[in-house]
Every structure is written in C-alpha cells, then in structure tokens.
Amino acid sequence: MVKVKETSSGLQVPVLVQPGASRDRIFGEHDGRLKVSVTAAPERGKANEALCKFLAVEMGLSKSQVHVLSGHNSRLKEVLIERVSRDALDAILS
C-alpha cells in the first residue's frame, strides 16, 4: 500500500520514478511508494515536470495542484497533491 500522508496542504505521496521509459505509466505500489514511469529524460527537471503533468492528467487535476516536494535529483520523490481527497486518490490508484 502506498504510504500517503495527509497534511494541511494536501496529500504527500512517496513516488518512485523511472525516467526515460518508453511510455508514461502508473505501475502501482513498490516498497510503499507509487511507481511511475515517464518518457522524459532525467535532465534539467524534465522528468519532474513530466511526472507532475502526468499525475495531474491521470487524476483530472490542474498541473498547478501537483508539486515535487523533495527528491528533485533522485528517483525517490515526495509529491504534494493539493485539493484532492484521500478517497479520490485511492480510486485513481486502484
């Protein structure tokens, strides 16, 4: 199960990112993290931007509601998703 933290700002989701993949895709849970692949290369923040955009589209949110909080230069990231309920996130992840 993905270890999501509810904060006053929104939901903090741990993510394992696979940049440079053949397609954007949510794989599900891996070691308590949401595993996501993105086609963007891991250079100059392109993979972080692609991750935020992809998650926003998948959840029906605006891109401004999804932010990388930590792990900007790592495959292990913490992502903040604003103004979404835990139930809505669980429905998307299942």
1 has a pLDDT exceeding 90: no
Percentage of residues in the chain with pLDDT exceeding 70? 99
Higher pLDDT among residues 77 and 59, named by residue: 77
Alpha-helix residue ranges (DSSP H) falling in 1-94: 46-59, 86-93
Q: What is the pLDDT of residue 87?
A: 85
90 pLDDT more than 90 = no
pLDDT value at residue 92? 72
Task: Name 20's Cβ contacts closer than 8 Å, sequence gap at least 6.
Answer: 39, 40, 41, 42, 47
CATH code at 5-93: 3.30.1200.10
pLDDT band, residue 30 (cuts 50/70/90): very high
What average pLDDT does range 4-19 have in this prediction?
95
Average pLDDT, the chain: 93
* Mean pLDDT confidence for 4-25: 95
For the chain, give every domain's residue range.
Answer: 5-93
- Whole-prediction pTM value? 0.92
- Identify the pLDDT of residue 93: 73
